[in-house]
Structure 1
């Protein structure tokens, strides 16, 4: 009974990989963008200060690279896992990473995490675009995808039940023991009477004594 209950609980955690695949892939791509854009953006005149490619600062490490890496890891868990708990962990990691993209700069100063710099923009439109694609818009999109995946993963649908039943069907070992020889009727061409299986599984036979008339 305990073993059956344990197997049922484990089976209830199984989900199709497609449940979080699309959201996970998008979160991975956005996380890569968030972690790399401060280093490659200056190559296209699309950057925050310092306006130099591959320039490392403490602010970029804490406010862009760290949440980008967390988003990538969370997205990979969502994309590859067939376990509900693991995929849920990945979705909440994505939500946390996106939230940090949005609010990280507001708390970086008091926490001593450095500064992300100022947008290098020729006009206000480019400045707004930089703000959205580097921080607030990027983070909001990651939060949306992570929360969407978390909502889908928290609901057990008929498809999940069918998937669980298809992949967690286990056979009772007591019911699948090999049929012993004495359970099968003897055939006419068997002159010997089968006895029960010995200690080591060897079949022993006792030949009937036929007395002449």
Structure 2
């Protein structure tokens, strides 16, 4: 989220990593709460009716709805970079967890049916079903959502440092000159400067260091000499 006037990130901005772990835990817990009533009978760990993928109104209200809300809350925490949006996800998780805990007690009064009876031969398994399906699952979701809200309610020093790095990167991008544009001075293109010494230096290929021609031996036939005779003459400038 950016300030409309300055274009800089506002105080509501936060790094996405702030709620990523809590959001991932909530997604896993919500998926468990929404799917376990339908796959539990396959492992002999379910409430009545003891059938795989058996749909009922009570399961939709008491299991699928709070589970889907928990998954949505977790996704908001994972992908949101805005503090307000992430806090909405945290509160949604708290409400979904609370519904897991008290939904069975309110179901007869609301007329949405019953979740069924636990299929268990012992009190230990009955307690495990109750904790895994409703009360324990809901309490854990409330706890994770509350931790996420507490972390989002404060502005840590790491948030200020991350915001400063974002602003520095933005300022550096604005300060960089655009590539491919020629530089102009007073409407004319800039030309490279040539030093005066480069124009007055003597050539070194045919001339010496002081500008005089190099001298050396050269074969030359004098006037009146035999055309086949070879003579050496010194000095003679090299060409």
1:3 is aligned to 2:2: no
1:59-86 CA-partner distances (Å, limit 9, x unpaired): 0000000000000010011112222112
Q: Which has the higher helix share?
A: 1
What secondary structure, in the 3-state scheme, does the structure 2 residue paired with 1:29 have? Answer: helix
Structure number with greater Rg is 2
Once the two structures are TM-superposed, the CA of residue 11 in structure 1 deviates from its matched residue by 2.3
Unaligned runs of 5+ in 1: 190-213
**Counterpart residue number, 1:124:** 123
What secondary structure, in the 3-state scheme, does the structure 2 residue paired with 1:56 have? Answer: coil
**TM-score, length-scaled by structure 1:** 0.77
Q: Bigger shift: 108-117 or 54-63?
A: 108-117
Unaligned runs of 5+ in 2: 194-239
Tell me which stretches of 4 or more aligned residues in structure 1 moved more than 3 Å: 168-171, 175-182
Q: Distance in 1 between matches of 2:15 and 2:93?
A: 20
What secondary structure, in the 3-state scheme, does the structure 1 residue paired with 2:116 have? Answer: coil
Structure-2 change in CA distance of 1:3 and 1:180 (3 Å) = farther
1:138-179 CA-partner distances (Å, limit 9, x unpaired): 0000000000011001110000011112224555xxx99999
Structure-2 change in CA distance of 1:90 and 1:180 (3 Å) = farther
**TM-score, length-scaled by structure 2:** 0.69
Q: Distance in 2 between matches of 1:177 and 1:21?
A: 37
**Counterpart residue number, 1:152:** 151
Q: How does 1:7-46 map to 2 (within 5 A)?
A: 7=7, 10-46=9-45
Once the two structures are TM-superposed, the CA of residue 2 in structure 1 deviates from its matched residue by 7.5
**Counterpart residue number, 1:194:** none
Q: Distance in 2 between matches of 1:180 and 1:93?
A: 59
Structure-2 change in CA distance of 1:119 and 1:20 (3 Å) = same
Number of residues paired by the alignment?
185
Q: Distance in 2 between matches of 1:18 and 1:48?
A: 38
Structure-2 change in CA distance of 1:42 and 1:162 (3 Å) = same
Q: Distance in 1 between matches of 2:75 and 2:185?
A: 53
Q: Distance in 1 between matches of 2:164 and 2:58?
A: 49
The structure, 1 or 2, with the larger RCO (C-alpha pairs under 8 Å, 6+ apart) is 1
For the aligned residue pairs, the C-alpha RMSD in angstroms reads: 2.8
- Contact kept in structure 2, 1:17 and 1:79, CA below 8 Å: yes
**Counterpart residue number, 2:102:** 103
What secondary structure, in the 3-state scheme, does the structure 2 residue paired with 1:82 have? Answer: coil
